[in-house]
Structure 1
Amino acid sequence: MIWVGTAVVVVKTVILLLGSGITYIAYKAYRRTGASSLRTLGIGFGVITLGSLLAGVADQLLSVSLEMGVLINSVLVAIGFAIIMYSLYLERT
């Protein structure tokens, strides 16, 4: 089952790279346009990316239980999605 640990690290790294890229692009768009909805969108993706990073660190370096790692990731993903939903609401108003 060593391959599962390696697969988790690889997938978390891909999520970190993609999430960071999306966050950076949203930030650049915000700087270019000044639209607060784009800033909030970037924050939402940043929180989701942070959740993935923290869950990976907790699993690999802090040796927390799988359940706790999933909980950390899930809470931050839920918060990130709420922020993204709010950013889309801002765009409509």
Structure 2
Amino acid sequence: MNASFRQTSTLAIVSLIFGFLGWTLLPAIGGIVAIITGHLARGEIRREPERLQGDGMAVAGLVLGYASLILGLLAVMIFVVFFGGLMWLGLQH
């Protein structure tokens, strides 16, 4: 009886951790790191599926990373439009 042991990808763990950090302590950097390491982890897991696991963690890190970056960009755009509109109104008077 030879039980095979699959190791969890370190990159998948890093992606998940930085995905959470992208929502809390490191908004932009955390999201970028989560996206990069998530893609790297998925490629690593696809190349060696008999040795590595953690695709779900990598996907979760990717989702958290992309979501934090998209919402952050939307917030910046709304901020610029709102305060740009206020400045435009102020210059009209």
Q: TM-score, normalised by structure 1?
A: 0.44
Q: Point out the structure with the larger helix share.
A: 1
The structure whose Rg is larger is 2
Q: Point out the structure with the larger strand share.
A: 2
